[in-house]
Amino acid sequence: MQQTLSHTRLPKDRITIMSAPPKASRIKLYIPYAMQPEREAFKKLDGSFYHPNQKLWSIINTVENKVLLQKIFAGKYQVQQATKAIAKKKIALSSKAQDALLANLKTLTLKGMSQHTINSYQSCLAHYFTHFENKTLAKISKAEIEDYVYEQIKTYRISEQKQNQIINAIKSYYEHTLGKDRTKYNIKRPKKSETLPNVLSEAEVMRLINQPSNLKHKTILYTLYSAGLRLGELLNLRTQDIRSDDGYINIKGAKGKKDRQTVLSPVLLDLLRTYYREYKPSYWLFEGQTGGKYSAKSVQNIFRKAVQESGCNAWATPHTLRHSFATHLMQAGTNLRYIQKALGHTSSKTTEIYTHVLNINNKSVESPLDILMKKHKFEKE
């Protein structure tokens, strides 16, 4: 369950440590701007990390780190319980709501939407239909819908992502299932957060993908990173999608139901050949024990174990390897157009976000002051 920490009433002369649940991966804390010595001391700790969007610091959740925080911040901190999002109660659907959901299911299926999207929309609409049980769904106004979304935010403390998910489900129902005018249901949305993708350094990637001793597990991590794949794309790879003669990997039916090609690393190809000789996959490149597709949960477990054992950023996910793929290519000077095609982005603007996470230092960028001084020195000589 997601935890949040409100900054509105936090003291400016004390550090606030969020009480972490036993299974939480990290301990979050707020260090006031004025407490610079304490902030610098925290930054030197192993595994310390800053979350700019939340304006919080964090460290890996261990007993040793809890004791360490108490020691270095002795007399200067307070512990605060984080607020939790409130879980919605299970609801019993009326026959009216069930009929509306069935009609929506038929529409989404005929439109060829993914099962993930269908499940998400149906879940959101089940609660929405129940809320307006005593009203005619086709006649609910835009103002009433916005009141409903506002109530979800205030009552259940839903995230911006969940808010957008609810709005998308409602708009889809009215515009596609009921055929209503699109402009009528132009519902207010939260301001889009300008979040940057989480990226691992090259050294972290090397440690992480080489951590598994199991050949299959290592090959999975190598494939994710070297080709910049989404998790679903990895699971859908067939043996025939590895085009070794032509030097590319074929991605069939990726996001948006689009096919694309991405780079096939010679290093990965050697590893895949070793993997193939040992595991002999028949259809899917990575098969489960029963011969079907490997499960997403299994890959996530492999990744999580590798993260923990390699000491990499604990907030990383399998998708972080895709972000790292793009960023490292950009750092190497690869043309943005090639990166866009490898990732399967329709617009170059989506790919350009990786320019914001490039390392800026005096090794990668020369300050105009240095350029100016060099010119001045040359002119004097």
Per DSSP, the chain holds a count of helices (H) and strands (E) of 15, 10
Q: Fill in the amino acid letter for 56.
A: L
Q: Which two tokens stand for residue 338?
A: 């090639």
User: Which entry of 30, 173, 222, 354 is annotated as an active-site residue?
Assistant: 354
Q: Is 230 a catalytic residue?
A: yes
In angstroms, rounded to a whole number, what is the distance separating the alpha carbons of residues 310 and 308?
6
For residue 149, give the nearest of 123, 176, 122, 131 by alpha carbon: 131
Region of residue 166 (left: phi > 0; alpha: psi -120 to 50; beta: else): alpha
Active site residue 319: yes
Quote the longest CA-to-CA distance of the chain: 89
Active-site position among 26, 171, 322, 328: 322
- The catalytically annotated residue of 230, 260, 323, 328 is 230
Choice among 207, 255, 293, 304 that is catalytic: 255
Cα-to-chain-centroid distance, residue 19: 24
Q: How many CB atoms lie within 10 A of CB 18?
A: 20
CA distance 87 to 157: 9
Residue with tokens 């440690």: 207
Tokens of 215: 């050949």
Which amino acids are annotated catalytic?
230, 255, 319, 322, 345, 354
